[in-house]
Amino acid sequence: MVFSQEEEVIVWDADRKLQWSDFKGSYFKTEWAAATTASGISYSFTSFTKEGQLYLDFVVQSEFYPKKSWYRPELCDSIILGHEQLHFDISELYARKMRKRLAQTQFTMNAKAEVRAIYKGILKELGNFQNKYDRETNFSRNLEKQVLWNRRIKAALKEEKPSRN
């Protein structure tokens, strides 16, 4: 998802969990879901050359978009909020994967396209992983699977420490 720079965003932070008050979007009456988390990854970079070698300084972050996220209070509880938080946590996990890939890549003078290709690949992986999460937990309805996913992502976030951009 791409949103304008003026879009309200909440940047992922291990010490800040989502609250229902963060979900400011509206839902359609025909919507079957109880809640939707709109989150994604953004990036920016600058490049410089030193001794004929191209280097990039990049910023990659996981973001939550309040005005694109919504919930139905009559259907939602703390389990569903936890499920939605995990969607945001998964975005952070993939932001870290992107930072790692960028740090390991030797860029050419075509860096803009190369970074975009890495970003597109990460977004595709992220989308597939988010869909798998919803499928396996049945959108939080399978509590046993939800607990397993909670542990899995918590462990992955501990293992995959956030690197400095």
Contact, 153 vs 86, CB < 8 A?
Answer: yes
Query: What dihedral angle (degrees, nearest 10) is formed by the CA atoms of 135, 88, 82, 132?
Result: 10
What token pair was written down for 158?
Answer: 């501990």
In this prediction, residue 56 carries a pLDDT of 92
Residue 57 has pLDDT above 60, yes or no: yes
Contact, 94 vs 122, CB < 8 A?
Answer: yes
Instruction: State percent of the chain over pLDDT 90.
Output: 81
Range 53-65 burial, b when 16+ CB lie within 10 A, else e: eeebebebbbbbb
pLDDT per residue as tens digits for the range 131-154: 999 999 999 999 999 999 999 999
Distance CA(89)–CA(91), nearest Å, equals 5
In this prediction, residue 94 carries a pLDDT of 98
Contact, 60 vs 165, CB < 8 A?
Answer: yes
Quote the pTM value: 0.91
Per domain, the residue ranges of the chain are 10-159
User: What mean pLDDT comes out for the span 29-56?
Assistant: 90
In this prediction, residue 165 carries a pLDDT of 54
Determine how many CB atoms are found less than 10 A away from the CB of residue 139.
Answer: 16
In this prediction, residue 4 carries a pLDDT of 52
Distance CA(82)–CA(102), nearest Å, equals 30
Distance CA(165)–CA(72), nearest Å, equals 36
In this prediction, residue 163 carries a pLDDT of 63
Cα Rg of the chain, angstroms: 17
User: What mean pLDDT comes out for the span 47-68?
Assistant: 92
pLDDT per residue as tens digits for the range 99-130: 999 999 999 889 999 999 999 999 999 999 99
Residue 5 has pLDDT above 80, yes or no: no
Q: How confident is the model at residue 164 (pLDDT cuts 50, 70, 90)?
A: low
